[in-house]
Structure 1
Amino acid sequence: MAPSAMTPKNRFTTALADAQPVAYWLDDPGKPRAEPALTGAESCDLLVVGGGYSGLWTALIAKERDPQRDVVLLEGREVGWAASGRNGGFCAASLTHGLANGLARWPGEIEQLEQLGARNLDAIEEAVARYGIDCDFERTGEIDVATEPHQVEELREMHTESQRLGLDGGTEFLDADQVKAELASPTFLAGIWDREGVAMLHPAKLAWGLKRACLDLGVRIYENTPANTLTQHGAGMAVRTPYGRVLAHQVALGTNVFPSLVKRIRPYTVPVYDYALMTEPLTESQLDSIGWKNRQGIGDSANQFHYFRITADNRILWGGYDAIYPYGGKVRAEYDHRPETYAKLAGHFFRCFPQLEGLRFTHTWGGAIDTCSRFSAFFGTAHSGRVAYAAGFTGLGVGATRFGADVMLDLLSGEQTDRTTLQMVRNKPLPFPPEPFAWTGISLTKWSLARADANGGRRNPWLKTLDRFGLGFDS
C-alpha cells in the first residue's frame, strides 16, 4: 500500500516498528548489580519488606531517625524493578491525588494536607542533594491542560476555588494562547500551571540512588529474596524467605500492588495496568516546533487522561489513557505489554503533536499500580502494632511514598504526630468486593467515565452514586 493510501492507524503505528518492549528507565547500562539473596537466618530491629520507593524511603528515614537502629530490607526481585522503575517520573507534592479529590474527602484537613505535601516534596529534593542522587531532578512543575471546552470551565472553577481557600500557591491559569506558548499543540485550550508542586525525575535512578544511600547508612539489603510468610515470634515477628528467615522486633510493609503479608488488607487494593511510550531524542528543529522551554510535566483533564513529559536527553514520554483492570485482580508479567494500547497511544500522540509526525518510538512498556477506592494512600498496623503498612498510592507513589514511610515509622513508634492524627491516616477506604462484582463495577465505571468525556463532562447516575459515597476508579 502506498504511503498516501495508508490509514491513520497504520501511519501512526509505523512509529512503533523498532520499539523495544522494555521500560526506558530500566534499560540503562548504569543499573547497579543486585545484592546477594538472603541465605540462612537474620535478625534486626526493623525489617522492611519491599525494595520500591515505599520500602527504600522507610529504611532510609529509619536510619536517619536513629543511626543505631538495625535495619534489614528484603526485595523479591531487584530494587526498583516494578512500579518504582516504570512510572512517568512525575514527583508530586499532592498526597490526595489532586486538590479536588482532597477537598471532596478531607475538606477540614486540606490545608494541612497541602502543607505536609509541600514539605514532603521539599524533603525529597533535599535528600536527592544530600545523598548525591543523580536522577535528573528538575522542579519545573506541571500543567493540567484542557482539551475540551467543558474542561476549560472546570479548570477555571478549580483555580478560582483554590484561590478563595488560599491553596493556589504557585499556580497560574493559562488561556489558550498562554498554554500553547509553553507547549505548542493544536489540542490545548487552557491550562493550570502548578509551578512549585511537581518535579520531574528519572524514576529508576531515584530508586538506585536510594538503595546506595541505604547501604551507605548500614541497611542490609537482600535482593531476589521474596518474603513468603509473616508470623508472630515471641515479642517480635518472623518472616520466612525461600532460603532463610528474618526475626525482627518490627516490620514495615512496602509491597503496595503485590499481595500483602497482612491478608485482611488485600481487598483494599486492586492492580490497574498503565502503559507508556518513549520517543527517540528530538532534533533541534523538532524541539523548536513544540517549544517546551520550561520543561514542565503535562497532564490532560479528561477522565481517561494522558500524562507526558520531556526527559533529560529530550525524549518525550507519553502514557496513560487506558487503565486496565484484569479480571481477578492478578499481577502477572503477561499483562505488562498491550500492543493495542500502544497503537492507541501512538495515534493520540500524533494528534496532539502533528508537527512531530515521523518521530519514532524506542520503548514501550506497562506495569501495575496499586489502586484503592479513594485514590490516595491508606495506612495502618497489625499484630499488636508490631507491623505497619502503607498502600493504595494510585499513581502518586513517586512523592507520596516518602510521606507514607514517615507515617509507618510514626505508627511503629507509637508516637502521636501531625501525620498520625490525620483522618486520612486514621481512616481506611472501602474495600473492593469479590469477583465478579469488582470486575463488573470497575468496567461499568470505566465505561461511564469514557461517556462523560464524550458528553461534555456530564456524569451519569452511576458516577453520581459513586461520588455520593466517595468511591470511584482512577482511569
Structure 2
Amino acid sequence: MTDIAPARTGTENTGVKHEIYWRETEPVVPGPPLRDNVTCDVCIIGGGYTALWTAHFLRKADPSLEIHILEADYAGAGASGHNDGFVTPTIGHSLGALVHRFGTDRAKLAYAAVGKSILELNRFCVKQDIDAEFESAGYYQVAATTDQIRLLERDLELAARLGAKSGLDLLDRTRARERIGSPGIEAAVKVGGALINPHRLARGLLRAVTATGVSVHEQTPALTVETTPTGHVVRTPHARVTASKLLYATNAYQHQFAEFRRKVVPVWSYAAVTRPLTDEELGAVHWPEREGFVEAGNFIVFGRLTAGNRLLFGGGRAHYRFRRNMDVAGNIDKPAATEALRGVLSRYFPMWRDVPFTHTYGGCVAITREVVPHIGALGDGRFYAHGYCGNGIALTHTAGKSLRDLILGRDTSYSNLLFVHGKEKPFPPEPLAFLGAGAVSSVLAAQDRHPRLIRTQLV
C-alpha cells in the first residue's frame, strides 16, 4: 500500500498525468480545519483506513466515546485512497517469513482474522451503500519462470499447513492462461481476496464514520504532541486537542514523530494506468473473471483492470530515499520506473503494448525492520499502528479491531494477534539506513534474477 499523495500538477507534453488516477473517480472537497480547542476521549492522528476503522469499531463498542480524528490533507489522501486496490490476506511481506518468525499456529490465527475482514469489508460496503467497485473474484499469484513456479509450490505447502482448503492448487500454463490469457504466465495459484477502488472506499468509510458522531478534521496537521497530567495535548495550526487516549495512525508518515523515527521507513513504489481499453482490445485477451495478478518474487509486479476497463500496472524494485525523503517533486515522475512498467505490460500483454499510459505516479510503502506490521501501546495512553508493507486494505480493518481492544483495555483474540505488541528492531541512523537499504535492495533484486544462487529466504 503506497502512502503519499503526488502533487496535483497538470500534464506533461506527452499528455500523461503524474497524478493519482483514482482521484478522478470521485471529487473531494476537504472539510474545514479545526478552529476551536476540544477535549475528547480519543484523538487519532491520521485520516486513513487505520484511523477510520478504529473509530468505527470504538463507536460500535461504546457509542458514548468522544472521538476526534486529525488529518493533514483530506481523509484517504495517503495510501488508503491511492493504493492499487488489491484486497489481500497477506500479512507483511510474505507467508513464508510470517510462518518462519511466528510459527504455524499464530500465523493461522492471524490469517483467519484478516480473511474474515475481507468478507466483512464487502458486507460493510453493501450495508453503507458505498460504491467502492468491489470485485470479489480475487486475484492470482503467477509465475513467469520455472524458479517462480517453485516459489508458488512453496507457498502452497505453507498454505496447506495453515489449513487452506484442498481445492487450492497450482494451475499449469494451459489452465492458468484459461483464466488470464497472458503469454507471460507459466503457472498460477488462485488467492482469496478482492479488487476495489481504494479512493471511493476511503471516502465512503469517512461518511459512514462521521454519521456515527465521530469528528473528522481535515486540513488539520498535528504539529506537536505533549503529555500532561490532564491528558495528551495535540497542537494543530489553529487549535489544540486534549485527549485521554491518543492513537498514531500515519503509517509511512509515522517516522515524523520522535517515538517512531527509526521504527518505520517510507519506500517508494510506482504505478501506471492506461486509457480505457476498447471492446476490440478487451476481446484480444481471454480474461473472463477479471481477476488481478501478482508475480511471485521479492519485488512484485502486478496488474489489474479497473471498473472502467483501464489497465493498471505497478510494483517493481522499491527505493528508499536518503533521510526518509517523501518529497513528491523529486520522486513523482521517475522515467526509469515508468519504462519498467511499460516493459511489464509488453511482457504480459504484447497485444496491448502500444496502449498509452494516461497516468503515472509514485507513492510510499511503510516498511518495518521485521517486514511485518506493528500495533501496540506506549504504556501511557498512547497507541500506534504502522508498517503494513503494501498489504493494508484488509489488514487495517483487522487492526481497527485490535486497536479498539487495546484502547478499551480488553484482553481478546484481536489484542493478542501476532502483530500486536511485537518487538521492533530500529533501523540504523543515517547514512547507515540509506546504505543498508540500498544493499538489501540490491541483494533482493539479485535473488529475483538468480534465485538458485541465493536460496535463503531473506524477507
* TMscore range, shorter length: over 0.9
* Structure 2 partner of 1:82: 78
Distance in 1 of aligned mates of 2:318 and 2:216? 33
- Shift in Å, 1:120: 1.6
Distance in 1 of aligned mates of 2:166 and 2:332? 38
Matched, 1:232 2:227: yes
Contact 1:150 1:456 in 2 (8 A): yes
* Structure 1 partner of 2:345: 349
Matching residue's letter, 2:183: P
Matching residue's letter, 2:179: E
Matching residue's letter, 2:222: A
Matched, 1:35 2:31: yes
* More divergent stretch after superposition (373-382 vs 255-264): 255-264
Matched, 1:428 2:393: no
Distance in 2 of aligned mates of 1:261 and 1:442? 19
Distance in 1 of aligned mates of 2:451 and 2:35? 58
- Shift in Å, 1:446: 1.4
Matching residue's letter, 2:293: I
- Shift in Å, 1:165: 4.4
* Structure 2 partner of 1:130: 127
Distance 1:31 1:428, change over 3 A: farther
Contact 2:70 2:216 in 1 (8 A): yes
- Shift in Å, 1:415: 1.3
Matched, 1:156 2:153: yes
* Structure 2 partner of 1:58: 54
Aligned pair count reads: 446
Matched, 1:287 2:262: no
Please give the per-residue CA displacement for 1:337-376, whole angstroms capped at 9, x wherever unaligned.
3122112211221122111132111111111111112222
Contact 2:272 2:338 in 1 (8 A): yes
State which of 32, 42, 48 in structure 2 corresponds to 1:46: 42
Matching residue's letter, 1:283: T
Please give the per-residue CA displacement for 1:401-443, whole angstroms capped at 9, x wherever unaligned.
1112222221111111102223431212321111121111111
Matched, 1:391 2:386: yes
Distance 1:168 1:457, change over 3 A: farther
Matches within 5 A, 1:201-280: 201-260=196-255, 262-280=257-275
Q: Secondary structure at the match of 1:267?
A: coil
* Structure 1 partner of 2:310: 315
Distance in 1 of aligned mates of 2:398 and 2:374? 11
Matching residue's letter, 1:238: V
Distance 1:370 1:96, change over 3 A: closer
* Structure 1 partner of 2:5: none
Please give the per-residue CA displacement for 1:145-167, whole angstroms capped at 9, x wherever unaligned.
11111111221232134225423
* Structure 1 partner of 2:65: 69
Q: Secondary structure at the match of 1:51?
A: coil
Q: TM-score, normalised by structure 2?
A: 0.93
Distance 1:170 1:381, change over 3 A: farther
State which of 356, 362, 382 in structure 1 corresponds to 2:358: 362
Contact 1:97 1:375 in 2 (8 A): yes
Please give the per-residue CA displacement for 1:169-199, whole angstroms capped at 9, x wherever unaligned.
76332100111111122221101111xx211
Matched, 1:118 2:115: yes
Distance in 2 of aligned mates of 1:126 and 1:316? 26
* Structure 2 partner of 1:439: 434
Matched, 1:330 2:306: no
Contact 1:31 1:208 in 2 (8 A): no
- Shift in Å, 1:328: 1.3
Distance in 2 of aligned mates of 1:212 and 1:76? 18
Distance in 1 of aligned mates of 2:286 and 2:151? 26
- Shift in Å, 1:134: 0.7
Distance 1:254 1:381, change over 3 A: same
- Structure 1 residues not aligned, in runs of 5+: 1-15
Q: Secondary structure at the match of 1:424?
A: coil
Matched, 1:411 2:406: yes
* Structure 2 partner of 1:448: 443
Matching residue's letter, 2:369: S
- Structure 2 residues not aligned, in runs of 5+: 1-12
Distance in 2 of aligned mates of 1:403 and 1:366? 26
Matched, 1:301 2:296: yes
Moved over 4 A (4+): none
Matched, 1:177 2:177: no
Q: Secondary structure at the match of 2:60?
A: helix
Please give the per-residue CA displacement for 1:194-222, whole angstroms capped at 9, x wherever unaligned.
1xx21100000000001111111111111
Q: TM-score, normalised by structure 1?
A: 0.90
Q: Secondary structure at the match of 1:94?
A: coil
Matching residue's letter, 2:342: A
Distance 1:117 1:170, change over 3 A: farther
Distance in 1 of aligned mates of 2:347 and 2:416? 47
Matching residue's letter, 2:90: S
Distance in 1 of aligned mates of 2:365 and 2:28? 24
Contact 2:272 2:361 in 1 (8 A): yes
Distance in 1 of aligned mates of 2:347 and 2:322? 31
Distance in 2 of aligned mates of 1:221 and 1:270? 26
* Structure 2 partner of 1:5: none
Contact 2:342 2:353 in 1 (8 A): no
Distance 1:229 1:170, change over 3 A: farther
Distance in 2 of aligned mates of 1:385 and 1:420? 17
Distance 1:250 1:434, change over 3 A: same
Q: Secondary structure at the match of 2:430?
A: coil
- Shift in Å, 1:331: 1.9
Matched, 1:139 2:136: yes
Distance in 1 of aligned mates of 2:359 and 2:98? 34
* More divergent stretch after superposition (300-309 vs 153-162): 153-162
Distance 1:169 1:76, change over 3 A: farther
